[in-house]
Amino acid sequence: MRAVDRPHRSGAGRSVLWDKEGAASRAWRRRVGWLIEALCLVAVSVAMLTLAALLVDVVLDGAKNLSWRFLTSFPSRRPEEAGLYSALVGTLYVMALTAVIAIPLAVGAATYLEEFAPKNWLTTVIEANIANLAGVPSVIYGLLGLGLFVRTFGLGRSILAGALTLSLLVLPLLITASRESLRAVPRSVREGAFALGATRWQVVRYHVLPLATPGILTGTILALSRAIGETAPLITIGALTYIAFLPDGIMDEFTVLPIQIYNWVSRPQEAFHSLAASGILVLLAVLLSMNAVAVVLRQRLRRRIQW
């Protein structure tokens, strides 16, 4: 019986076919890549243009009020005499105290969880709760601060109560950022120190933490940048909107720039809206100054690191 002839493709034919299919696939991937790149560029452009429009609007409205008198005057019911001296000083007090409280606690917690804690169900639960706390609305922290610090501990509407409340707000962010920085330190650094006879604490203290400090500072910048603009937690604990004096200590009443800006925006007079724009510019200047100091410290520490 005669065998049925079957079509047969040579190796060269298959190679040509595969080349055509590969070229078509590569062309399709390039087109998809260009499309995604264009969409990302459009999204970034829209965001940047929106931000630029807001900044230009704020500068046009608020630049005319910026003066030394505005920075050194207390709030007033007369817009031509109003300033934000008490709010500016209160912001500096609260942010400095928040950093002093939150940073050591966050770095200590991150170091323990990453370097010392055993890997069991308890640490897994703690890590999951830290991740969940990072997404809790800020007003919830305000309610916690009101019930715990203001009423239970009797701190009242003081700078210390506000700083403790904001510390709770930024702790999950700081702990997460610090843990990621510790993980980024190569394992070989730890193994080399252990091989030379160092204890675990010596390895962490003299090798791991110094190498992780630039990353920890980056997380600190992000966390404090969020805290300086928060209004809901401080309003919840009773931070006042009208303070015509400077605090003498951490147990005095206070106000901050976001609350003072909110107070001016809520007034019907157009002159107070212009003052609010000026307050926004001052708040941005304080925020950028804090970030600049942290960035300079981070860069200096990075230059000292030698792998």
pLDDT per position in the chain (307 positions), as tens? Answer: 444 444 444 555 555 555 666 677 777 888 888 999 999 999 999 999 998 998 898 888 888 888 888 888 888 888 888 888 888 999 999 999 999 999 999 999 999 998 888 888 888 888 888 888 888 888 899 999 999 999 899 888 889 999 999 999 999 999 999 999 999 888 888 888 888 888 889 999 888 988 888 888 888 888 888 888 888 888 888 777 778 888 888 898 888 999 989 888 888 888 888 899 999 999 989 888 888 888 888 777 777 666 5
Q: Are the C-beta atoms of 143 and 136 separated by less than 8 Å?
A: no
Query: Quick check: 245 and 169 in contact, CB under 8 A?
Result: no
- In CATH, which superfamily holds the domain spanning 68-304? MetI-like (1.10.3720.10)
Say what the pLDDT of residue 82 is: 86
Per the listing, tokens 């630049």 go with: 63
CA distance linking residue 277 with residue 57, whole number of Å? 9
Q: How far from 219 is each of 33, 50, 206, 215, 298, CA to CA, in Å?
A: 32, 26, 21, 6, 11
Using an 8 Å Cβ cutoff, are 253 and 93 in contact? no
User: Are the C-beta atoms of 220 and 99 separated by less than 8 Å?
Assistant: yes
Q: Are 231 and 259 in contact (CB under 8 A)?
A: yes
Please, which residues have CB within 8 angstroms of residue 90's CB and are 6 or more apart in sequence? 159, 243, 247, 254, 255, 256, 257
- Contact indicator for 184, 215 with CB cutoff of 8 Å: yes
pLDDT in the model for residue 294:
80
Q: What does the pLDDT read at residue 1?
A: 43
Task: Indicate the pTM of the whole model.
Answer: 0.81
The confidence score (pLDDT) of residue 18 equals 58
CB 291 within 8 A of CB 229: no
CA distance 117 to 147: 31
Do 283 and 258 touch, CB atoms closer than 8 A?
Answer: yes
- As a residue count, the chain comes to 307
Say what the pLDDT of residue 14 is: 56
